[in-house]
Structure 1
Amino acid sequence: MSADVKADNQPYDDINVTPMLDLAYVLLVVFIILTTASVQGVKVRSPETTAAENLAKPQTRAITITADGQMFLDAYPVSLEQLQSRLADYKAANPALPVVLKGDAAAQYEKVMQVLEVTKKLDITEIGLVTRRAAP
């Protein structure tokens, strides 16, 4: 009986790191999702919505329209012609090219429609609109 008690009081020779690795993998996945979901670049004040949030897919291209009507493709300023040319190149490389349209709430509606017409001409069907979640 005393031998059993002594065996229970022995210090561990190794540490089980499996739970720590599980946590590290979860944190890594969360970090990857958050960094790919947030499109860095030009800051705009997005309109609010109560719709569910959509995560951006890898290789997603971001088109940003500022309040003063400037257009950016992945944080680089472009004209409408440059936008169409670059999107056509991306579409040729990836036929299922996903695009995210991030427009300021005060952006000119005509600019948004011009961008949507370009995506339609190029047969880009995966288009997401970036919004902010409305306060409850």
Structure 2
Amino acid sequence: MAMGSFDPRRPQTPIADINVVPLVDVMLVLLVIFIITAPLLTHSVKVDLPKASSAPNITQPAHVEFAIRANGELRWNGARVAPQELAARFATEARKQPQPELHIRADRQARYERVAQVMSAAAQAGLVRIGFVTEPVKP
């Protein structure tokens, strides 16, 4: 290892040696750690599992397409519906098993008050799966 001198008569030269002792120490510690932990990671219990082929049973619950137009008109699966009929229809759907999802399609210009009233009526009737349907943004 080169040492600098404090003697003013000797020219100051930069130290060009790299001290690799700490690097070697760290590498040896890591090597020991990996040697100890590697067998623990590969240890597994051999179990002879039974073989079976099956397809998942996916049942999609029905859904109700509910639309709110800009002029306040309400549509139930495409058919026009009066606001007075909503509570009865929501209650009927809430009793079904599995309970259908309510997909709300609200027009951009529809009043928020109308959307909130519909959501409130659905929640009061017992519908728990309520979602909004939107159009994706096109770049």
Across the two proteins, how many residue pairs are aligned to each other? 80
- Does residue 61 of the first structure (1) align with residue 64 of the second (2)? yes
Task: Name segments (4+ residues, structure 1) moved above 3 Å.
Answer: none
Aligned to 2:135: 132
Question: Which protein is richer in helix relative to its size?
Answer: 1
Unpaired stretches in structure 2, ≥5 consecutive residues: 1-59
- The root-mean-square deviation of aligned C-alpha atoms, in Å, is 1.5
Superposed, 1:1-136 pairs within 5 Å as 57-94=60-97, 96-136=99-139
CA–CA separation in structure 2 for the residues paired with 1:96 and 1:85: 15
Q: Secondary structure at the match of 2:88?
A: helix
- Residue 81 (structure 1) shift: 2.0
Unpaired stretches in structure 1, ≥5 consecutive residues: 1-56
RCO higher in structure (CA 8 A, sep ≥6): 1
| TM-score in terms of structure 1 length | 0.54
CA–CA separation in structure 2 for the residues paired with 1:127 and 1:93: 15
Q: Deviations over 1:5-41 (max 9, x none)?
A: xxxxxxxxxxxxxxxxxxxxxxxxxxxxxxxxxxxxx
| TM-score in terms of structure 2 length | 0.53
Q: Equivalent pairs: percent with the same residue? A: 26
